[in-house]
Amino acid sequence: MKTKITIPQEEIDKEYKKLFDEAESGGYHLNPDVEFTKALVEGLLVNTKRYGYPACPCRLATGEKDKDLDIICPCDYRDPDLNDYGTCYCGLYVSLDVVQGKKKISSIPERRKKTMEEKRDVSTFNLEGLKYPVWRCKVCGYLCARDNPPEVCPVCKAKKERFERFI
């Protein structure tokens, strides 16, 4: 039985502050519409309680972490959506243009299914001559050449499980 979860306001405010500081220090921006953004932060906290991880509040999670990895916030689609629409899918993160009021955001198309169908096949790459495989952080694009991906992305702090073999 799934029930509606409520989050105390101070918990939402605290998480909002944390996400705001993390975003700004990493060159990202939270949506300046604070009421809107706090509603999304509440959704993230509800999902953390419900699933054990902060799945995107605007997508239906399965509850199986392996299947939901790409939609754990920040999702794999944030950067391309910021680039194309000035906002991520749910509207938590926006581009500088939006923060400065030069651009308005709206509900954007879902790229998840299309992106998953287009998954790159690394087996076709010529790996000869490469001393190490190259790993890519699916959240921020950080690349590193080493035997295994790092425990935590040194740039955006995403966990090891968010890395993919790139080359």
Partner 1 sequence: MKDFEKVEGKKKNKEVVLYALSTCIWCRKTKKLLEELEVEYKYIDMDLVDDEEKYLAEIKKWNPDCSYPTMVIDNKKCIVGFQEEEIKKEFA
CA distance 60 to 121: 27
Q: Least distance to partner 1 from the beta carbon of 78, Å?
A: 16
What's the token pair of residue 56?
């995107």
Burial class (CB in 10 A: 0-12, 13-18, 19+), 158: buried
Using CB under 8 A, pick the residue from 103, 112, 157, 159 that binds partner 1.
112
Check residue 58 for interaction with partner 1 (CB under 8 A): yes
Per CB under 8 A, does 40 bind partner 1? yes
- Sole window of 14-22, 102-110, 127-135, 139-147 interacting with partner 1 (rule: CB under 8 A): 102-110
Instruction: Kindly state whether residue 65 participates in binding partner 1, applying the rule CB under 8 A.
Output: no
**Window contacting partner 1 (CB under 8 A); options: 9-17, 55-63, 138-146, 149-157:** 55-63
Q: Does 61 bind partner 1 (CB under 8 A)?
A: yes
State how far the Cα of 28 lies from the Cα of 20, in Å rounded to an integer.
9
Does 80 help bind partner 1 (rule: CB under 8 A)? no
**107, 141, 145, 165: which one contacts partner 1 (CB under 8 A)?**
107
Site for partner 1 in 115-144 (CB under 8 A): none
Site residues for partner 1 per CB under 8 A: 1-4, 36, 39-40, 42-43, 46-47, 50, 57-61, 90-91, 106-110, 112-113
